[in-house]
Amino acid sequence: MSSPRVVQARSPLRIDLVGMTDYVPACQEFGGSIVNATINKYIYATAAERDDDLIVFNAPDQRDKHVVVESRQALDPDGELGLAQEIVRRFDLPHGVELTTYSEMPAGAGLGSSSTIATCIIAALDALCGFRLSAYEMAELARECEMVALQTIYGWQDQYSPVTGGGVKYMKSWPREIGWHIEVDRLPLSAPILAELEKSLVVCYSGISRPAKKILDAVANGFEANDSQVIGALKSMSTCADEIRLALLRGELDRLGEIINEVWALHKRLHPDVTNERIEELFKVARQAGAVGGRVCGAGGGGALLFYCAPNRDYAVRHALMNAEARVFDWSVDHHGVLIW
């Protein structure tokens, strides 16, 4: 009798130079553009066949959660670790499975962890079932499962980003009138440009788990109410993504600080909770040490912050933020996207 199969998956988190422009109803109406980079901070998933019908979930980074479901038919998206349960429910497994997942970064860091977990689980189970899904099918399945288990229909960048490969990417949603779809373009940046980008961008964790739902709901409500401030900010942020794409392709990295500052100003127009006293304190510390631009990753209100530094000021910015008790972490661009072995 052959040994049970075990599949390992690793999926990168991301930093977004421009985000928040991927709210699906808005993208279907007028499109949206994003620039992000997969980074060397990862979600891991292990899917192991069992010789019984039990479905076992382990989440050691979530207070060592351990959930046992008697059979595939008993899986419940409203139960504990409901997103993972809903994903497993979508696969026609002829056996039980034990699924173990964890993240290298804290929850609420604004690096796309909830959707990255979904795609990582999907990639592992797809490999266990014989590699039947395309990258786009995996991303859309992740969105569907999140809608069921998390009751959210917000965005698409964090589902598409890891499964479409690594690197710095320009991601664009085309509106319904020309056939709504997602386009993902990996920017062909040279090694020196990537090295300068990694050196100049300092990323830190604020210590605050971001209150994303309130901010995302405000964007959704603003769009539904045709709020000119919200809609105008989203459209202008997409324009900033187009400008960042061109600046990167032309090697004009000295423009990034100015554009990222504009993105941050637009981001703050979406909801008052996008920023707070702690975030403003860290921005002040970084600027005084030599940052020329910055923004909060993800929805805002906490999580990770990124700062673009003036030439050779990255060391000073890193240490000023650490002295302000922010957790500065080393990062580099991940060039692989989801890996399976």
CA distance 117 to 122: 9
Ramachandran area for residue 237 (φ above 0: left; ψ -120 to 50: alpha; else beta): alpha
Alpha helices for 129-255 (secondary structure H) = 135-149, 157-163, 191-200, 212-224, 228-250
CA angle 32/16/111 to nearest 5° reads: 120
191-328 architecture in CATH? 2-Layer Sandwich (3.30)
How far CA 142 is from CA of 56, 115, 172, in Å, comes to 20, 7, 18
Backbone angles phi, psi at 200, to 5 degrees: -85, -25
Q: How far is CA 115 from CA 45, 207, 340, in A?
A: 13, 21, 17
pLDDT by residue, tens only, the chain of 341 residues? 456 699 999 999 999 999 999 999 999 999 999 999 999 999 999 999 999 999 999 999 999 999 999 999 999 999 999 999 999 999 999 889 999 999 999 878 889 998 999 999 999 999 999 999 999 999 999 999 999 998 877 899 999 999 999 999 999 999 999 898 999 999 999 999 999 999 999 999 998 876 577 888 888 999 999 999 999 999 999 999 999 999 999 999 999 999 999 999 999 999 888 999 999 999 999 999 999 999 999 888 899 999 999 999 999 999 999 999 999 999 999 999 999 99
- Per-residue burial over 278-300, b if 16 or more Cβ lie within 10 Å, else e, is bbeebbebbbebbbbbbbbbbbb
- The pTM of this model reads 0.93
Which residues make Cβ contacts (< 8 Å) with residue 314, sequence separation at least 6?
199, 200, 202, 290
Q: 3-state class of 96 per DSSP? A: coil
Residue intervals in the chain for CATH 3.30.70.890 = 191-328
- What backbone torsions phi and psi does residue 134 show, to the nearest 5 degrees? -80, 170
Asked if the 6-186+335-340 domain carries CATH number 3.90.320.10, the reply is: no
CB-based contacts of 150: which residues, under 8 Å, 6+ apart?
Answer: 82, 83, 114
